[in-house]
Structure 1
């Protein structure tokens, strides 16, 4: 589930990447792997993201919640915006 969530969230145009957070705790461990930026718990899924500048952050966070909710039935979906990055084309 964590890998599918990570792949779908990364597919959104506003998402630059996933983030495990300052203390690198937003992650899911699987045999032989660590999926950073998605933490699947019994009652909730936590997602850490780095977003592009542009759309309002609450709007993008709600879009991420709506995308993930069907993949995590019965779990709350928490989205944490860890950073905001300007597009390379925006830099002067």
Structure 2
């Protein structure tokens, strides 16, 4: 089975050293529905991508968000990228 765009975006976001996990966010809306369990933490729309992350405490959050954007941008085409930092981890 081919890897979906959402799966590739999730993999790229998790490659950021400051991202500890993906999250659907406080309202559980950042996810991709698919056969089997939903993919938590990535929503792919026609004109935008949303990625929900939990990040390590320590660095400025805007810098971490930009790092995630930089990692996923090659996959997203012209779509606007929104990064939701939903929580901080101390690990």
TM-score, structure 1 as length reference: 0.89
| 2:90 equivalent in structure 1 | 86
The DSSP-based 3-state class of the residue aligned with 2:70 is helix
Deviation, structure 1 residue 4: 0.8
Q: Are 2:77 and 1:73 aligned?
A: yes
For structure 1, the 5+ residue unaligned runs are: 88-92
- Separation in 2, partners of 1:74, 1:33: 28
Aligned counterpart in structure 2 of residue 19 of structure 1, from 14, 18, 23 = 23
For structure 2, the 5+ residue unaligned runs are: none
TM-score, structure 2 as length reference: 0.90
